[in-house]
């Protein structure tokens, strides 16, 4: 078993970034990251070592976020509201640089939003993203590529189902 202080020190940032990708709110992300480590301490004996501990922590974080959404009965994330819950200075900079991207992200399906957020904001590898989302690395790469293409506006009719 690893020392929990060392795990916290090494993995807090990745868990926080992942939660920020999901919530788009630094306060909520920080609160949920703290709760993630609290839960991890309680369940450390259930960690089997089949994946990196950061992946296991992100899975806990994701479940906490979904539980939070269920508690608040949020059907669909209101990214605009979460996006603008920031200090005024940060809000102004963020609005100028990211408003259009935020609107475009809302048009993507939930999994594509997660993959793009994890890759760009969380700076995770495709392997780590695949582990967190219980998918293959190839799936993560393809989902990211297709989402990026849609955001550029050249892939909206690429896939017909």
**Structural domains in the chain?**
1-75 (1.10.1740)
- pLDDT score at 113: 83
User: pLDDT grade, residue 77 (50/70/90)?
Assistant: very low
What would the two tokens of residue 133 be? 């989302």
- pLDDT score at 128: 84
Most confident of 19-23, 99-103, 116-120, 138-142: 138-142
Average pLDDT over the chain, rounded to an integer: 75
- Reported in sequence order, the residue ranges of 36-122 that DSSP labels E, i.e. its strands, are none
Report the candidate in 47, 34, 68 with the shortest Cα–Cα distance to residue 2.
Answer: 47
- The per-residue pLDDT for range 28-67, each reduced to its tens digit, is 889 999 999 999 988 888 888 777 888 888 889 988 888 8
Give the 3-state secondary structure percentages of the chain, helix then strand then coil, rounded to 5.
75, 0, 25
- At 79, which helix (H) or strand (E)? helix 79-84
Distances (CA, A) of 112 to 5, 25, 41, 101: 33, 19, 31, 14
């259009």: which residue's tokens? Answer: 100
CA 125-143-78 angle, 5° bins: 95
């200090």: which residue's tokens? Answer: 87
CA 30 – CA 20 distance, rounded (Å): 8
Is 35 within 8 Å of 68 (Cβ atoms)?
Answer: no
CA 51 – CA 23 distance, rounded (Å): 24
Of residues 41 and 79, which shows the higher confidence score?
41
């Amino acid at each position: 078993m690893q020392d929990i202080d060392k795990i916290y020190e090494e993995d807090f940032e990745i868990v926080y970034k992942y939660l920020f990708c999901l919530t788009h709110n630094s306060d909520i992300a920080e609160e949920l990251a703290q709760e993630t480590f609290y839960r991890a301490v309680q369940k450390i004996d259930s960690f089997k070592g089949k994946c990196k501990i950061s992946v296991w922590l992100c899975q806990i974080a994701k479940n906490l976020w979904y539980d939070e959404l269920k508690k608040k009965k949020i059907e669909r994330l209101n990214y605009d509201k979460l996006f603008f819950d920031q200090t005024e200075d940060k809000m102004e900079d963020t609005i100028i640089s990211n408003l259009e991207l935020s609107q475009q992200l809302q048009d993507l399906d939930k999994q594509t939003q997660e993959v793009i957020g994890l890759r760009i904001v969380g700076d995770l590898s495709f392997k780590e993203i695949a582990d967190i989302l219980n998918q293959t690395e190839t799936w993560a790469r393809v989902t990211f590529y297709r989402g990026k293409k849609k955001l550029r506006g050249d892939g909206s009719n690429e896939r017909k189902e």
